[in-house]
């Protein structure tokens, strides 16, 4: 099966290197479209292109508003000449075993139409994870930190619709893909959406002043985080400190209480 990655970015300089490099060797091609970054995102993507030129199809499409975002993802879908789409955001980092497992499942089970996977969600810094009960995604009778990441492009009438934040893949009858023949696969990725992803303002910022549960000392982070990277790439190992740490400790109990009351 031919697998292409669809990645749309805006000011993702802190993690885009790790995101793309975590999957590039396991897929056939990665479409990376930048939507007006003014930080180091484009420079970092060009560094990746130097060593993975045959795998990276990069273009700058300019600023994209919430209403137009699904249209851009639809264009990307239409230009993906493949059997399966893997949606990869600039804040998603895969373990090698997870991406291998995903690819293997796609090749061994061609009749499935989508794959949902779990995720670990750092908050505060990379050493602290948000509690599972904070995850609100509901798929296949599960609720928590999980997401539909791989979609079979052979689904009749496959298209993208709905505004940014809710944009979804649907079939010719406008039925959500997650309501079709999809499976849950225990192949987690690291989703750093709540960490600081850029030195510049992000159009859709999900940064949180909150401190999650400290990871165990024997926890194994994605391998790509330990591999050499250009000097232009920010270290992922920066610990929360100073006023951010103080604010996070103060706000965390209130955030947890608010989630429980919903």
Is-contact 255 210, C-beta < 8 A?
Answer: yes
Whether pLDDT at 119 is above 80: yes
Q: What is the pLDDT of residue 181?
A: 97
How many alpha carbons fall within 13 Å on the CB side of residue 137?
18
Distance CA 239, CA 236 (A): 9
Q: What is the pLDDT of residue 154?
A: 97
pLDDT greater at residue 224 or residue 259 = 224
pTM of the model: 0.96
Q: What is the mean pLDDT of residues 240-256?
A: 95
Q: What is the pLDDT of residue 258?
A: 86
Q: What is the pLDDT of residue 261?
A: 81
Q: Supply 145's token pair.
A: 């930190």
pLDDT tens per residue across span 170-227: 999 999 999 999 999 999 999 999 999 999 999 888 999 999 999 999 999 999 999 9
Distance CA 33, CA 63 (A): 11
Tokens 């993690």 found at: 15
Extended strands (E) in 29-112: 29-34, 56-60, 84-87, 92-94
Whether pLDDT at 66 is above 90: no
CA-nearest of 198, 204, 132, 195 to 163 is 204
CA-nearest of 91, 95, 101, 133 to 256 is 133
pLDDT tens per residue across span 27-51: 999 999 999 999 999 999 999 999 9
Is-contact 87 173, C-beta < 8 A?
Answer: no
Report the Cα 24 to chain-centroid distance in Å. Answer: 14
Q: Which residues of 15-25 are buried (b: 16+ CB within 10 A; e: fewer)?
A: bbbbbbbbbbe
pLDDT greater at residue 259 or residue 185 = 185
CATH assignment, 3-191: 3.90.550.10
Mean of per-residue pLDDT scores for the chain? 95
Q: What is the pLDDT of residue 205?
A: 85
C-alpha distances (whole Å) from 235 to each of 6, 7, 143, 230 are 25, 22, 32, 10
Residue 225: other Cβ atoms inside 10 A? 18
């Amino acid at each position: 099966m031919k697998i292409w990655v669809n990645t749309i970015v805006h000011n993702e300089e802190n993690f885009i290197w790790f995101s793309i490099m975590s999957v590039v060797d396991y897929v056939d091609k990665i479409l990376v479209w930048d939507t007006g970054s003014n930080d180091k995102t484009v420079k970092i993507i060009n560094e990746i292109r130097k060593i993975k030129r045959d795998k990276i199809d990069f273009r700058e499409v300019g600023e994209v508003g919430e209403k137009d975002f699904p249209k851009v993802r639809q264009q990307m879908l239409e230009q993906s000449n493949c059997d399966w789409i893997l949606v990869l955001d600039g804040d998603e980092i895969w373990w090698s075993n997870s991406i291998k497992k995903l690819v293997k499942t796609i090749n061994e089970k061609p009749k499935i139409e989508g794959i949902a996977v779990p995720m670990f969600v750092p908050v505060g810094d990379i050493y602290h994870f948000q509690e599972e009960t904070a995850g609100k995604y509901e798929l296949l009778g599960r609720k928590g930190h999980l997401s539909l990441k791989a979609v079979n492009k052979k689904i009749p009438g496959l298209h993208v619709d709905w505004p940014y934040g809710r944009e979804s893949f649907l079939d010719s009858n406008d039925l959500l893909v997650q309501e079709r023949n999809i499976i849950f696969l225990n192949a987690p990725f690291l989703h750093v959406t709540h960490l600081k992803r850029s030195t510049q303002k992000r159009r859709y910022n999900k940064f949180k002043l909150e401190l999650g549960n400290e990871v165990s000392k024997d926890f194994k982070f994605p391998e790509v985080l330990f591999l050499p990277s250009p000097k232009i790439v920010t270290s992922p190992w920066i610990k929360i400190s100073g006023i951010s740490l103080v604010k996070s400790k103060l706000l965390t109990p209130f955030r947890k209480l608010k989630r429980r009351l919903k």
